[in-house]
Structure 1
Amino acid sequence: MKHKVTRAAGTGFTHLVLGGYTLLALFPILLVIINSVKSKDGIFDSPLSLPTAETWSLVGFEKVLAKSPFIHFFGNSLTVTLVSLVLILVLGAMAAWALSEYKFRGSKLLAIYMAFGIMVPIRLGTVSILELVVKLELTNTLTALILVYVAQGLPLAIMILGEFIQQVPKELKEAARCDGVGEFKIFFQIILPLIRPAVATVAVFTMVPIWNDLWFPLILAPGEETQTVTLGVQQFIGQYVTDWNAVLASLSLAVLPVLVMYVFASRQLIRGITAGAVK
Protein backbone atom coordinates (compact mmCIF):
# COMPACT_ATOMS: atom_id res chain seq x y z
CA MET A 1 0.00 0.00 0.00
CA LYS A 2 2.79 2.38 0.91
CA HIS A 3 4.57 1.52 -2.31
CA LYS A 4 1.43 2.34 -4.34
CA VAL A 5 1.05 5.72 -2.60
CA THR A 6 4.70 6.56 -3.28
CA ARG A 7 4.34 5.54 -6.91
CA ALA A 8 1.16 7.59 -7.32
CA ALA A 9 2.86 10.61 -5.75
CA GLY A 10 5.81 10.24 -8.11
CA THR A 11 3.51 9.97 -11.12
CA GLY A 12 1.54 13.01 -10.01
CA PHE A 13 4.70 15.04 -9.55
CA THR A 14 5.91 14.01 -13.02
CA HIS A 15 2.62 15.06 -14.61
CA LEU A 16 2.74 18.34 -12.69
CA VAL A 17 6.22 19.13 -13.96
CA LEU A 18 5.34 18.17 -17.54
CA GLY A 19 2.13 20.20 -17.37
CA GLY A 20 4.02 23.23 -16.10
CA TYR A 21 6.57 22.90 -18.89
CA THR A 22 3.77 22.58 -21.46
CA LEU A 23 2.16 25.80 -20.23
CA LEU A 24 5.54 27.54 -20.27
CA ALA A 25 6.19 26.42 -23.85
CA LEU A 26 2.70 27.29 -25.13
CA PHE A 27 2.42 30.64 -23.33
CA PRO A 28 4.31 32.73 -25.96
CA ILE A 29 2.24 31.20 -28.79
CA LEU A 30 -1.03 31.84 -26.96
CA LEU A 31 0.08 35.39 -26.15
CA VAL A 32 0.77 36.11 -29.83
CA ILE A 33 -2.59 34.66 -30.95
CA ILE A 34 -4.56 36.49 -28.24
CA ASN A 35 -2.97 39.86 -29.02
CA SER A 36 -3.33 39.38 -32.77
CA VAL A 37 -7.10 39.93 -32.43
CA LYS A 38 -6.82 43.07 -30.32
CA SER A 39 -6.64 46.72 -31.16
CA LYS A 40 -3.35 48.55 -30.73
CA ASP A 41 -4.53 50.13 -27.47
CA GLY A 42 -5.65 46.73 -26.19
CA ILE A 43 -2.22 45.24 -26.91
CA PHE A 44 -0.34 47.87 -24.93
CA ASP A 45 -2.91 48.44 -22.15
CA SER A 46 -3.47 44.77 -21.22
CA PRO A 47 -1.26 42.37 -23.20
CA LEU A 48 -1.98 39.41 -20.89
CA SER A 49 -5.78 39.67 -20.90
CA LEU A 50 -8.24 38.11 -23.30
CA PRO A 51 -9.82 40.37 -25.94
CA THR A 52 -13.05 42.09 -24.94
CA ALA A 53 -15.80 43.73 -26.97
CA GLU A 54 -13.88 47.02 -26.78
CA THR A 55 -10.44 45.65 -27.66
CA TRP A 56 -11.49 43.04 -30.25
CA SER A 57 -10.10 43.94 -33.67
CA LEU A 58 -9.09 42.12 -36.85
CA VAL A 59 -7.31 45.10 -38.36
CA GLY A 60 -3.99 43.25 -38.26
CA PHE A 61 -5.32 40.38 -40.38
CA GLU A 62 -6.93 42.84 -42.79
CA LYS A 63 -3.61 44.61 -43.31
CA VAL A 64 -1.70 41.35 -43.73
CA LEU A 65 -4.12 39.63 -46.11
CA ALA A 66 -5.42 42.60 -48.10
CA LYS A 67 -2.61 45.15 -48.15
CA SER A 68 0.50 42.97 -48.35
CA PRO A 69 1.68 39.98 -50.45
CA PHE A 70 1.59 37.74 -47.38
CA ILE A 71 -0.14 34.90 -49.25
CA HIS A 72 2.71 34.94 -51.77
CA PHE A 73 5.29 34.86 -48.96
CA PHE A 74 3.35 32.03 -47.33
CA GLY A 75 3.36 30.09 -50.60
CA ASN A 76 7.13 30.56 -50.94
CA SER A 77 7.72 29.22 -47.44
CA LEU A 78 5.37 26.31 -48.02
CA THR A 79 7.06 25.40 -51.31
CA VAL A 80 10.57 25.58 -49.88
CA THR A 81 9.64 23.65 -46.75
CA LEU A 82 7.69 20.85 -48.45
CA VAL A 83 10.18 20.28 -51.28
CA SER A 84 13.12 20.35 -48.87
CA LEU A 85 11.32 18.01 -46.48
CA VAL A 86 10.52 15.45 -49.19
CA LEU A 87 14.09 15.48 -50.51
CA ILE A 88 15.58 15.19 -47.03
CA LEU A 89 13.35 12.27 -46.06
CA VAL A 90 13.75 10.33 -49.32
CA LEU A 91 17.48 10.93 -49.81
CA GLY A 92 18.19 10.60 -46.09
CA ALA A 93 16.34 7.30 -45.80
CA MET A 94 18.06 5.89 -48.89
CA ALA A 95 21.48 7.00 -47.68
CA ALA A 96 20.82 5.60 -44.20
CA TRP A 97 19.75 2.29 -45.77
CA ALA A 98 22.92 2.15 -47.88
CA LEU A 99 25.25 2.98 -44.98
CA SER A 100 23.63 0.56 -42.54
CA GLU A 101 22.89 -2.33 -44.90
CA TYR A 102 25.84 -2.43 -47.28
CA LYS A 103 29.42 -2.54 -46.07
CA PHE A 104 31.92 -1.11 -48.54
CA ARG A 105 35.32 0.50 -48.44
CA GLY A 106 35.05 4.00 -47.03
CA SER A 107 31.57 3.53 -45.52
CA LYS A 108 32.81 4.43 -42.04
CA LEU A 109 34.63 7.50 -43.32
CA LEU A 110 31.48 8.55 -45.14
CA ALA A 111 29.46 8.14 -41.93
CA ILE A 112 32.00 10.28 -40.03
CA TYR A 113 31.81 12.89 -42.79
CA MET A 114 28.03 12.99 -42.39
CA ALA A 115 28.46 13.38 -38.63
CA PHE A 116 30.46 16.56 -39.23
CA GLY A 117 27.33 18.03 -40.78
CA ILE A 118 25.67 17.79 -37.38
CA MET A 119 28.60 19.09 -35.35
CA VAL A 120 29.51 22.03 -37.62
CA PRO A 121 26.75 24.67 -38.11
CA ILE A 122 26.06 25.30 -41.78
CA ARG A 123 25.94 29.06 -41.17
CA LEU A 124 29.71 29.08 -40.70
CA GLY A 125 29.95 28.54 -44.45
CA THR A 126 27.57 31.33 -45.40
CA VAL A 127 30.17 33.28 -47.38
CA SER A 128 31.20 30.23 -49.40
CA ILE A 129 27.58 29.26 -49.95
CA LEU A 130 26.76 32.76 -51.18
CA GLU A 131 29.72 32.69 -53.58
CA LEU A 132 28.61 29.32 -54.94
CA VAL A 133 25.02 30.49 -55.35
CA VAL A 134 26.19 33.57 -57.25
CA LYS A 135 28.37 31.48 -59.56
CA LEU A 136 25.45 29.15 -60.26
CA GLU A 137 23.20 32.18 -60.89
CA LEU A 138 20.70 31.00 -58.28
CA THR A 139 20.44 34.21 -56.26
CA ASN A 140 16.86 35.24 -55.48
CA THR A 141 15.54 31.77 -56.31
CA LEU A 142 13.76 29.24 -54.16
CA THR A 143 16.08 26.57 -55.58
CA ALA A 144 19.01 28.06 -53.68
CA LEU A 145 17.12 27.84 -50.39
CA ILE A 146 15.99 24.28 -51.08
CA LEU A 147 19.54 23.10 -51.84
CA VAL A 148 20.90 24.71 -48.66
CA TYR A 149 18.16 23.27 -46.46
CA VAL A 150 18.58 19.80 -47.93
CA ALA A 151 22.30 19.93 -47.20
CA GLN A 152 21.51 21.19 -43.70
CA GLY A 153 18.95 18.48 -42.89
CA LEU A 154 20.51 15.38 -44.46
CA PRO A 155 23.16 14.60 -41.77
CA LEU A 156 20.65 14.49 -38.92
CA ALA A 157 18.15 12.53 -41.02
CA ILE A 158 20.76 9.94 -41.98
CA MET A 159 21.90 9.50 -38.38
CA ILE A 160 18.40 9.06 -36.91
CA LEU A 161 17.01 6.90 -39.72
CA GLY A 162 20.17 4.77 -39.81
CA GLU A 163 19.77 3.88 -36.13
CA PHE A 164 16.18 2.78 -36.69
CA ILE A 165 16.98 0.81 -39.85
CA GLN A 166 19.58 -1.17 -37.93
CA GLN A 167 16.82 -2.30 -35.55
CA VAL A 168 14.82 -3.93 -38.36
CA PRO A 169 15.27 -7.74 -38.06
CA LYS A 170 17.59 -9.17 -40.70
CA GLU A 171 15.25 -12.13 -41.11
CA LEU A 172 12.65 -9.90 -42.80
CA LYS A 173 15.12 -8.66 -45.38
CA GLU A 174 16.65 -12.08 -46.00
CA ALA A 175 13.21 -13.67 -46.39
CA ALA A 176 12.26 -11.03 -48.95
CA ARG A 177 15.49 -11.58 -50.88
CA CYS A 178 14.89 -15.33 -50.89
CA ASP A 179 11.46 -14.68 -52.44
CA GLY A 180 13.13 -12.69 -55.23
CA VAL A 181 12.10 -9.23 -54.03
CA GLY A 182 14.37 -6.47 -55.34
CA GLU A 183 16.29 -4.07 -53.11
CA PHE A 184 14.10 -1.11 -54.04
CA LYS A 185 10.92 -2.98 -53.12
CA ILE A 186 12.50 -4.14 -49.86
CA PHE A 187 13.34 -0.56 -49.01
CA PHE A 188 10.05 1.07 -49.99
CA GLN A 189 7.62 -1.72 -49.04
CA ILE A 190 9.28 -3.20 -45.95
CA ILE A 191 11.80 -0.79 -44.43
CA LEU A 192 9.98 2.54 -44.80
CA PRO A 193 6.66 1.36 -43.24
CA LEU A 194 8.59 -0.02 -40.25
CA ILE A 195 10.46 3.22 -39.59
CA ARG A 196 7.50 5.61 -39.87
CA PRO A 197 7.98 6.91 -36.29
CA ALA A 198 11.57 7.84 -37.14
CA VAL A 199 10.46 9.49 -40.39
CA ALA A 200 7.87 11.56 -38.50
CA THR A 201 10.49 12.55 -35.92
CA VAL A 202 12.90 13.68 -38.62
CA ALA A 203 10.11 15.52 -40.44
CA VAL A 204 9.15 17.58 -37.38
CA PHE A 205 12.73 18.30 -36.32
CA THR A 206 13.59 19.31 -39.89
CA MET A 207 10.52 21.35 -40.76
CA VAL A 208 10.63 23.75 -37.82
CA PRO A 209 14.16 25.16 -38.48
CA ILE A 210 13.42 25.50 -42.20
CA TRP A 211 10.06 27.25 -41.71
CA ASN A 212 11.41 29.62 -39.05
CA ASP A 213 14.72 30.41 -40.74
CA LEU A 214 15.48 34.06 -41.46
CA TRP A 215 19.22 33.86 -42.11
CA PHE A 216 19.40 32.23 -45.53
CA PRO A 217 16.26 33.87 -47.01
CA LEU A 218 17.73 37.25 -46.04
CA ILE A 219 21.09 36.46 -47.67
CA LEU A 220 20.21 34.23 -50.63
CA ALA A 221 16.67 35.25 -51.60
CA PRO A 222 15.75 38.72 -50.33
CA GLY A 223 13.88 39.67 -53.52
CA GLU A 224 10.19 40.57 -53.48
CA GLU A 225 9.24 37.44 -55.45
CA THR A 226 11.22 34.99 -53.29
CA GLN A 227 10.70 36.30 -49.76
CA THR A 228 9.51 33.79 -47.19
CA VAL A 229 7.10 34.39 -44.31
CA THR A 230 9.79 35.16 -41.74
CA LEU A 231 11.39 37.67 -44.07
CA GLY A 232 8.07 39.15 -45.17
CA VAL A 233 7.09 39.91 -41.57
CA GLN A 234 10.03 42.29 -41.36
CA GLN A 235 8.24 44.78 -43.63
CA PHE A 236 5.90 45.59 -40.72
CA ILE A 237 8.83 46.34 -38.40
CA GLY A 238 10.38 49.78 -38.88
CA GLN A 239 13.18 51.69 -37.21
CA TYR A 240 10.80 54.21 -35.68
CA VAL A 241 7.31 52.75 -36.14
CA THR A 242 6.20 49.10 -35.86
CA ASP A 243 2.74 47.92 -36.88
CA TRP A 244 2.23 45.45 -34.04
CA ASN A 245 -1.23 44.43 -35.20
CA ALA A 246 0.16 43.30 -38.54
CA VAL A 247 3.24 41.69 -36.96
CA LEU A 248 1.21 39.62 -34.50
CA ALA A 249 -1.36 38.67 -37.15
CA SER A 250 1.34 37.50 -39.57
CA LEU A 251 3.09 35.53 -36.83
CA SER A 252 -0.21 33.86 -35.89
CA LEU A 253 -0.74 32.78 -39.50
CA ALA A 254 2.87 31.67 -39.83
CA VAL A 255 2.72 29.36 -36.82
CA LEU A 256 -0.32 27.44 -38.09
CA PRO A 257 1.50 24.98 -40.44
CA VAL A 258 3.89 23.91 -37.68
CA LEU A 259 1.01 23.31 -35.25
CA VAL A 260 -1.00 21.40 -37.86
CA MET A 261 1.95 19.17 -38.72
CA TYR A 262 2.66 18.48 -35.07
CA VAL A 263 -0.98 17.53 -34.43
CA PHE A 264 -0.98 15.01 -37.29
CA ALA A 265 2.53 13.66 -36.61
CA SER A 266 2.50 13.80 -32.80
CA ARG A 267 1.71 10.12 -32.28
CA GLN A 268 4.47 8.97 -34.63
CA LEU A 269 6.81 11.59 -33.15
CA ILE A 270 6.28 10.30 -29.61
CA ARG A 271 6.75 6.72 -30.76
CA GLY A 272 9.99 7.66 -32.48
CA ILE A 273 11.37 9.52 -29.47
CA THR A 274 10.42 6.78 -26.99
CA ALA A 275 11.81 4.06 -29.25
CA GLY A 276 15.11 5.92 -29.42
CA ALA A 277 15.10 6.37 -25.64
CA VAL A 278 14.49 2.66 -25.04
CA LYS A 279 17.31 1.79 -27.39
Structure 2
Amino acid sequence: MKTNPALRASHYVIASLFALLSLYPIVLMLLSSFKTNIDIFKNPIGLPKAWSMTAYKKLLDQLPYFDYFWNSLTVSVVAVALILLFGSLASFYIARYPFRWNPALFFFFLLGMMIPVKLGIVPLFMLMKNLGLMNTVTSLILMYTAIGIPMSVLILTGFFRTLPKELEEAGRIDGCSDLRLLLSIVTPLMRPALGTVMIMNFITVWNDFFFPLIFIQDEVKKTIPVGMLTLFSEYSTDWSVLFAGLTLSSLPMIVLFALSSRQFMDGMTAGAVK
Protein backbone atom coordinates (compact mmCIF):
# COMPACT_ATOMS: atom_id res chain seq x y z
CA MET A 1 0.00 0.00 0.00
CA LYS A 2 1.53 3.31 -1.14
CA THR A 3 1.49 6.34 1.10
CA ASN A 4 0.37 9.68 -0.27
CA PRO A 5 3.53 11.89 -0.53
CA ALA A 6 1.61 14.95 0.65
CA LEU A 7 0.32 13.03 3.67
CA ARG A 8 3.80 11.77 4.50
CA ALA A 9 5.22 15.30 4.18
CA SER A 10 2.55 16.62 6.54
CA HIS A 11 3.47 13.92 9.06
CA TYR A 12 7.12 14.98 8.90
CA VAL A 13 6.17 18.62 9.36
CA ILE A 14 4.03 17.85 12.41
CA ALA A 15 6.75 15.62 13.89
CA SER A 16 9.34 18.34 13.33
CA LEU A 17 7.14 20.90 15.08
CA PHE A 18 6.74 18.62 18.09
CA ALA A 19 10.51 18.06 18.13
CA LEU A 20 11.15 21.82 18.08
CA LEU A 21 8.66 22.37 20.89
CA SER A 22 10.38 19.67 22.95
CA LEU A 23 13.87 21.06 22.31
CA TYR A 24 12.94 24.70 22.90
CA PRO A 25 13.16 24.58 26.75
CA ILE A 26 16.56 22.86 26.54
CA VAL A 27 17.91 25.44 24.08
CA LEU A 28 16.50 28.30 26.15
CA MET A 29 18.14 26.88 29.29
CA LEU A 30 21.48 26.54 27.51
CA LEU A 31 21.37 30.07 26.09
CA SER A 32 20.37 31.56 29.44
CA SER A 33 23.37 29.97 31.12
CA PHE A 34 25.64 32.15 28.97
CA LYS A 35 23.77 35.37 29.75
CA THR A 36 24.02 37.77 32.65
CA ASN A 37 21.16 38.06 35.09
CA ILE A 38 20.16 41.45 33.64
CA ASP A 39 20.29 40.11 30.09
CA ILE A 40 17.92 37.28 31.02
CA PHE A 41 15.28 39.77 32.21
CA LYS A 42 15.76 42.17 29.28
CA ASN A 43 15.91 39.56 26.52
CA PRO A 44 14.69 36.23 27.91
CA ILE A 45 14.25 34.38 24.61
CA GLY A 46 17.00 35.97 22.51
CA LEU A 47 20.65 35.15 21.98
CA PRO A 48 23.20 36.42 24.54
CA LYS A 49 24.65 39.83 23.75
CA ALA A 50 28.05 38.54 24.91
CA TRP A 51 28.75 34.85 25.43
CA SER A 52 30.18 34.47 28.92
CA MET A 53 31.16 31.57 31.20
CA THR A 54 30.77 33.73 34.31
CA ALA A 55 27.66 31.86 35.47
CA TYR A 56 29.51 28.53 35.45
CA LYS A 57 32.41 30.04 37.39
CA LYS A 58 30.01 31.48 39.98
CA LEU A 59 28.26 28.13 40.25
CA LEU A 60 31.49 26.28 41.08
CA ASP A 61 32.56 29.05 43.48
CA GLN A 62 29.27 29.25 45.38
CA LEU A 63 28.41 25.56 45.64
CA PRO A 64 30.27 22.25 46.03
CA TYR A 65 28.66 21.34 42.72
CA PHE A 66 30.98 18.46 41.87
CA ASP A 67 30.11 16.84 45.23
CA TYR A 68 26.42 17.12 44.35
CA PHE A 69 27.10 15.73 40.90
CA TRP A 70 29.11 12.78 42.19
CA ASN A 71 26.47 11.96 44.84
CA SER A 72 23.68 12.03 42.25
CA LEU A 73 25.70 9.91 39.82
CA THR A 74 26.63 7.35 42.49
CA VAL A 75 23.08 7.00 43.76
CA SER A 76 21.58 6.80 40.26
CA VAL A 77 24.06 4.29 38.81
CA VAL A 78 24.07 1.95 41.82
CA ALA A 79 20.29 2.07 42.28
CA VAL A 80 19.59 1.41 38.59
CA ALA A 81 22.12 -1.44 38.54
CA LEU A 82 20.43 -3.07 41.55
CA ILE A 83 16.99 -2.56 40.01
CA LEU A 84 18.09 -4.28 36.80
CA LEU A 85 19.75 -7.13 38.71
CA PHE A 86 16.96 -7.96 41.15
CA GLY A 87 14.20 -7.09 38.68
CA SER A 88 15.65 -9.49 36.09
CA LEU A 89 16.02 -12.32 38.59
CA ALA A 90 12.50 -11.90 39.98
CA SER A 91 10.94 -11.51 36.53
CA PHE A 92 12.71 -14.58 35.15
CA TYR A 93 11.45 -16.65 38.06
CA ILE A 94 7.85 -15.41 37.74
CA ALA A 95 7.75 -15.81 33.95
CA ARG A 96 9.45 -19.18 33.61
CA TYR A 97 8.64 -21.22 36.74
CA PRO A 98 4.92 -22.08 36.93
CA PHE A 99 4.56 -22.54 40.68
CA ARG A 100 1.13 -22.03 42.24
CA TRP A 101 2.24 -18.99 44.24
CA ASN A 102 3.57 -17.11 41.20
CA PRO A 103 0.41 -15.03 40.63
CA ALA A 104 0.43 -14.00 44.30
CA LEU A 105 4.14 -13.14 44.10
CA PHE A 106 3.57 -11.08 40.96
CA PHE A 107 0.68 -9.25 42.64
CA PHE A 108 2.92 -8.59 45.65
CA PHE A 109 5.36 -6.73 43.42
CA LEU A 110 2.50 -4.81 41.78
CA LEU A 111 1.39 -3.61 45.21
CA GLY A 112 4.57 -1.56 45.28
CA MET A 113 3.15 0.48 42.39
CA MET A 114 -0.31 0.84 43.92
CA ILE A 115 0.70 2.10 47.37
CA PRO A 116 2.28 5.59 47.49
CA VAL A 117 5.65 5.26 49.21
CA LYS A 118 5.56 8.81 50.52
CA LEU A 119 2.64 7.92 52.78
CA GLY A 120 5.05 5.84 54.85
CA ILE A 121 7.77 8.47 55.13
CA VAL A 122 7.63 8.57 58.95
CA PRO A 123 8.15 4.79 59.41
CA LEU A 124 10.82 4.89 56.70
CA PHE A 125 12.57 7.76 58.47
CA MET A 126 12.56 5.82 61.75
CA LEU A 127 13.77 2.67 59.97
CA MET A 128 16.74 4.46 58.41
CA LYS A 129 17.53 6.10 61.76
CA ASN A 130 17.45 2.77 63.61
CA LEU A 131 19.67 1.18 60.96
CA GLY A 132 22.17 4.02 61.24
CA LEU A 133 21.71 4.98 57.59
CA MET A 134 20.52 8.54 58.06
CA ASN A 135 22.60 11.13 56.24
CA THR A 136 24.17 8.53 53.93
CA VAL A 137 23.77 7.86 50.23
CA THR A 138 23.08 4.21 51.13
CA SER A 139 19.64 5.18 52.42
CA LEU A 140 18.82 6.77 49.06
CA ILE A 141 20.11 3.76 47.12
CA LEU A 142 17.95 1.38 49.15
CA MET A 143 14.88 3.59 48.78
CA TYR A 144 15.19 3.99 45.02
CA THR A 145 15.92 0.30 44.53
CA ALA A 146 12.78 -0.66 46.43
CA ILE A 147 10.70 1.89 44.53
CA GLY A 148 12.00 0.89 41.09
CA ILE A 149 11.75 -2.90 41.36
CA PRO A 150 7.92 -3.18 41.01
CA MET A 151 7.83 -1.33 37.69
CA SER A 152 10.85 -3.27 36.40
CA VAL A 153 9.21 -6.59 37.34
CA LEU A 154 6.04 -5.58 35.50
CA ILE A 155 7.92 -4.64 32.32
CA LEU A 156 10.49 -7.44 32.32
CA THR A 157 8.01 -10.20 33.17
CA GLY A 158 5.93 -9.31 30.11
CA PHE A 159 9.04 -9.40 27.93
CA PHE A 160 10.24 -12.72 29.35
CA ARG A 161 6.89 -14.28 28.52
CA THR A 162 7.21 -13.26 24.86
CA LEU A 163 10.56 -15.02 24.38
CA PRO A 164 10.45 -18.53 22.88
CA LYS A 165 11.15 -21.24 25.42
CA GLU A 166 12.96 -23.33 22.81
CA LEU A 167 16.07 -21.16 23.22
CA GLU A 168 16.20 -21.91 26.92
CA GLU A 169 15.58 -25.60 26.33
CA ALA A 170 18.50 -25.68 23.89
CA GLY A 171 20.67 -24.02 26.51
CA ARG A 172 19.69 -26.56 29.15
CA ILE A 173 20.58 -29.38 26.76
CA ASP A 174 24.05 -27.81 26.45
CA GLY A 175 24.37 -27.87 30.23
CA CYS A 176 23.62 -24.24 31.14
CA SER A 177 22.57 -23.53 34.69
CA ASP A 178 19.63 -21.20 35.35
CA LEU A 179 21.91 -18.26 36.07
CA ARG A 180 24.07 -18.95 33.02
CA LEU A 181 20.92 -19.30 30.94
CA LEU A 182 19.71 -15.89 32.13
CA LEU A 183 23.03 -14.11 31.57
CA SER A 184 24.17 -15.68 28.30
CA ILE A 185 20.97 -16.41 26.38
CA VAL A 186 18.02 -14.46 27.77
CA THR A 187 19.60 -11.14 28.80
CA PRO A 188 21.00 -10.28 25.32
CA LEU A 189 17.48 -10.68 23.93
CA MET A 190 16.11 -8.42 26.67
CA ARG A 191 18.16 -5.34 25.80
CA PRO A 192 15.13 -3.29 24.65
CA ALA A 193 13.29 -3.99 27.90
CA LEU A 194 16.39 -3.45 30.02
CA GLY A 195 17.07 -0.17 28.20
CA THR A 196 13.52 0.99 28.91
CA VAL A 197 13.78 0.12 32.59
CA MET A 198 17.22 1.74 32.85
CA ILE A 199 16.21 5.06 31.31
CA MET A 200 12.93 5.36 33.20
CA ASN A 201 14.52 4.65 36.57
CA PHE A 202 17.64 6.74 35.96
CA ILE A 203 15.56 9.83 35.16
CA THR A 204 13.36 9.23 38.22
CA VAL A 205 16.31 8.82 40.58
CA TRP A 206 18.37 11.65 39.11
CA ASN A 207 15.55 14.19 39.36
CA ASP A 208 14.10 13.17 42.71
CA PHE A 209 13.96 15.91 45.32
CA PHE A 210 11.87 14.41 48.11
CA PHE A 211 13.97 11.63 49.62
CA PRO A 212 17.35 13.46 49.56
CA LEU A 213 15.63 16.35 51.33
CA ILE A 214 14.40 13.98 54.07
CA PHE A 215 17.39 11.68 54.53
CA ILE A 216 20.40 13.93 53.85
CA GLN A 217 21.54 16.84 56.05
CA ASP A 218 25.25 17.34 55.30
CA GLU A 219 25.91 19.79 52.50
CA VAL A 220 28.56 17.67 50.77
CA LYS A 221 26.27 14.60 50.72
CA LYS A 222 23.33 16.30 49.00
CA THR A 223 22.27 15.48 45.45
CA ILE A 224 21.88 18.06 42.70
CA PRO A 225 18.12 18.80 43.08
CA VAL A 226 18.48 19.55 46.81
CA GLY A 227 21.84 21.29 46.47
CA MET A 228 20.52 23.63 43.79
CA LEU A 229 17.84 24.79 46.22
CA THR A 230 20.41 27.02 47.93
CA LEU A 231 20.53 29.20 44.80
CA PHE A 232 17.01 30.44 45.58
CA SER A 233 17.27 33.26 48.10
CA GLU A 234 14.41 35.02 49.87
CA TYR A 235 14.67 38.28 47.96
CA SER A 236 16.55 37.54 44.73
CA THR A 237 17.83 34.69 42.57
CA ASP A 238 20.80 34.61 40.22
CA TRP A 239 19.04 32.97 37.30
CA SER A 240 22.14 32.69 35.13
CA VAL A 241 23.87 30.56 37.77
CA LEU A 242 20.71 28.49 38.19
CA PHE A 243 20.49 27.83 34.46
CA ALA A 244 24.18 26.91 34.41
CA GLY A 245 23.59 24.33 37.12
CA LEU A 246 20.54 22.95 35.34
CA THR A 247 22.50 22.66 32.10
CA LEU A 248 25.28 20.67 33.74
CA SER A 249 22.81 18.45 35.61
CA SER A 250 20.93 17.60 32.40
CA LEU A 251 24.04 16.35 30.56
CA PRO A 252 24.06 12.78 32.00
CA MET A 253 20.41 12.24 31.06
CA ILE A 254 20.98 13.55 27.53
CA VAL A 255 24.04 11.32 27.08
CA LEU A 256 22.22 8.29 28.50
CA PHE A 257 19.23 8.76 26.24
CA ALA A 258 21.47 9.33 23.21
CA LEU A 259 23.29 6.04 23.89
CA SER A 260 20.20 4.00 24.80
CA SER A 261 17.46 5.63 22.72
CA ARG A 262 17.38 2.74 20.22
CA GLN A 263 16.79 0.17 22.96
CA PHE A 264 14.29 2.49 24.63
CA MET A 265 12.21 2.92 21.46
CA ASP A 266 12.38 -0.79 20.68
CA GLY A 267 11.21 -1.53 24.21
CA MET A 268 8.33 0.94 24.06
CA THR A 269 7.08 -0.32 20.67
CA ALA A 270 7.69 -4.06 21.22
CA GLY A 271 4.55 -6.02 20.50
CA ALA A 272 3.04 -3.26 18.38
CA VAL A 273 3.83 -5.14 15.17
CA LYS A 274 3.18 -8.84 14.78
TM-score normalized by the length of structure 2: 0.95
- Residue 137 (structure 1) aligned with residue 132 (structure 2): yes
Which ranges in structure 2 are unaligned for 5 or more consecutive residues? none
- Residue 100 (structure 1) aligned with residue 95 (structure 2): yes
Q: Which of 145, 150, 156 does residue 150 from structure 1 map onto?
A: 145
1:135 deviation in Å? 1.5
Could you tell me how far apart the structure 1 residues matched to 2:17 and 2:118 are?
Answer: 34
The aligned counterpart of 2:67 is 72
- Residue 207 (structure 1) aligned with residue 202 (structure 2): yes
Could you tell me how far apart the structure 1 residues matched to 2:30 and 2:88 are?
Answer: 36
1:127 deviation in Å? 2.0
The aligned counterpart of 1:182 is 177
The aligned counterpart of 2:36 is 39
Could you tell me how far apart the structure 2 residues matched to 1:124 and 1:13 are?
Answer: 47
Could you tell me how far apart the structure 2 residues matched to 1:100 and 1:156 are?
Answer: 15
Mapping for residues 1-279 of structure 1, pairs under 5 Å: 4=2, 7-53=4-50, 56-278=51-273
More displaced stretch, 14-23 vs 219-228: 14-23
Corresponding residue SS for 2:49: coil
- What is the CA deviation profile of residues 236-277 of structure 1, one whole-angstrom value per residue up to 9, with x for unaligned ones? 111112121211110100000000000000111111111143
1:51 deviation in Å? 1.5
Q: How many equivalent pairs are there? A: 274
- What is the CA deviation profile of residues 202-252 of structure 1, one whole-angstrom value per residue up to 9, with x for unaligned ones? 111111010000010001113213100111111111111212121111010
CA contact (8 A) 2:69 2:224 kept: yes
1:18 deviation in Å? 2.4
More displaced stretch, 103-112 vs 139-148: 103-112
Could you tell me how far apart the structure 1 residues matched to 2:163 and 2:273 are?
Answer: 15
Could you tell me how far apart the structure 1 residues matched to 2:22 and 2:217 are?
Answer: 31
Q: Which amino acid aligns with 1:81?
A: S
Could you tell me how far apart the structure 2 residues matched to 1:112 and 1:256 are?
Answer: 37
Q: Structure 1 16/123 Cα, relative in aligned 2: closer, same or farther at 3 Å?
A: farther
Identity value in percent? 39
Could you tell me how far apart the structure 1 residues matched to 2:18 and 2:117 are?
Answer: 30
Which ranges in structure 1 are unaligned for 5 or more consecutive residues? none
Could you tell me how far apart the structure 2 residues matched to 1:179 and 1:101 are?
Answer: 18
TM-score normalized by the length of structure 1: 0.94
1:138 deviation in Å? 1.0
Q: Which amino acid aligns with 2:247?
A: S
Could you tell me how far apart the structure 2 residues matched to 1:276 and 1:24 are?
Answer: 29
1:176 deviation in Å? 1.0
Corresponding residue SS for 2:162: coil
Corresponding residue SS for 1:240: coil
1:121 deviation in Å? 2.7
Could you tell me how far apart the structure 2 residues matched to 1:160 and 1:17 are?
Answer: 30
